[in-house]
Amino acid sequence: MTDAPAPGFNTLAIHAGAQPDPATGARVTPIYQTTSYVFDNVEHAASLFSLEAFGNIYTRIMNPTQAVLEARVAALEGGTAALAAASGHAAQLLVFHVLLDPGDEFIAARQLYGGSINQFNHAFKKFGWNVVWADGNDPASFEAAITPKTKLIFIESIANPGGILIDVPAIAAVAKKAGIPLVVDNTLATPYLFRPKEHGADIVVHSLTKFLGGQGNSIGGILVDCGTFDWLKSGRYPMLSQPNPSYNGMVIAETFGNFAFAIAARVLSLRDLGPAIAPLNAFLFINGIETLPLRIARHCENTLAVASWLEKHPKVAWVNYAGLPGNRYHELAKRLVPKGAGAVFTFGLKGGYDAGVKLVSNVKLFSHLANIGDVRSLIIHPASTTHSQLTPEQRALAGAGDDVVRLSVGIEDSADIIGDLEQALAAV
């Protein structure tokens, strides 16, 4: 007898982690809107609290609706386990809380979402976690920044806001040589276009709010344990490699092996910091993921059409979309994301800051708001909004200069998307 072939991506997006509800037969995963769960007996309760058995205790730590979401994203990313949280920022916080102690350093690409730049520069410093910035376009800059205090490298596979494609395999090689984990934010690419584990990542994070959910109706985040890093080898990650007093001296990495990181994030960091995802939001993300492959294919088709049109417009100074021939990232895109370069990109207006403000003020089909990854087409001028807290120099380094406009292209008819940009540009 031969083993059945592994399910394809489209099948996993619909079925991974889910079964008909055993109590009712409901085919769609229910919303388990409950705070806590009845134990079978005293022994069952004790085994759950000591991590000798898996099961539900309290929804701050886990919930059956959340469990389906986690299993589905882990399957799509090829990971061993996942943990959902209240937001993308919350997922990042849990990752760093597991890996860093006060005084530790981490290296991050400066080409990041502005909110992450703020989180790393300011909020994380209150924990004594210190960021060192490197250039996502230059893998050697990461190697040069490594010190004995460095505990991880953090990058985005496709950087927000610029749609800049990062050479993940090259930076993964730097992390592996240094014996530290690589954390990749895969929000803009999604596992449909790119699976970081296959290119050397050890941990993957997503803002579920964006393309995985796809509807713009819920906030959430998730981390995925790729099961690829040996947490015991160096002894530099004590939450995983040393006896834990809150679980009778258990060594998490010894007990849970290749999904130890996800367990530590759940039973130590999520347990104590508390940024739990709401069951309703988990339910909405499960349903959004079911159409992920269809949506992303349409997003990429529309985006290439829009970027190609903008490239020829007389009021547009430049377009940065890796899907365009001649773009500096195009050859990398053909190698890493052959199904498409995503749906988020930036372009520059010849009129600078004032022109950007004028454009976003005159769109009709596009929504002017601070989000990406919606089925609807979205537009924003980062210098006056998402990156306004940064200095002009920081904005320029992050790809959010004064002339920059960011688009998140939706799945409407491409002719209508282009028509709206055409009438808005006429007012600039």
Q: Quick one: which of 208, 292, 328 has its CA closest to 11?
A: 292
pLDDT-derived band of residue 384, with 50, 70 and 90 as boundaries? confident
Per-residue pLDDT tens digits for 403-418: 999 999 999 999 999 9
What are the structure tokens assigned to 184, written together? 């990749």
pLDDT digits (tens, 9 = 90+) for 126-183: 999 999 999 999 999 999 999 999 999 999 999 987 788 999 999 999 999 999 999 9
pLDDT band at 3 (very low <50, low <70, confident <90, very high): confident
Which residue type sits at 79? G
- Domains of the chain with CATH codes: 9-289 (3.40.640.10), 292-426 (3.90.1150.10)
- What share of the chain in percent tops pLDDT 70? 99
Determine the angle formed by the axes of helices 279-289 and 64-77, rounding to 10 degrees: 40
Candidate from 2-6, 51-55, 229-233 with smallest mean pLDDT: 2-6
- Looking at every residue in the chain, the average pLDDT score rounds to 95
pLDDT on residue 1:
46
CA distance linking residue 139 with residue 15, whole number of Å = 38
Which comes out higher in pLDDT, residue 388 or 100? Answer: 100
Mean pLDDT value of segment 60-81: 98
pLDDT at 2: 58
Report the share of the chain in percent with pLDDT over 90.
Answer: 90
pLDDT (average), residues 296-312: 98
Say if strands 203-207 and 182-185 run parallel, antiparallel, or are unpaired. Answer: parallel
Q: Is 335 buried (19+), middle (13-18) or exposed (0-12) by CB count in 10 A?
A: exposed
What pLDDT is recorded for position 67?
98
Instruction: For residues 102 and 259, give the distance between their C-alpha atoms in angstroms, rounded to a whole number.
Output: 25
CA-based radius of gyration for the chain: 22
pLDDT tens track for 189-225: 999 999 999 999 999 999 999 999 999 999 999 999 9
Residue 360 CA: distances (Å) to CA of 303, 349, 353, 407, 416: 18, 12, 11, 10, 16
The pLDDT value given to residue 267: 97
**What are the phi and psi torsion angles at 322 (to 5°)?**
-65, -15
Q: State the pTM of this model.
A: 0.95
The mean per-residue pLDDT over the stretch 313-333 comes to 97
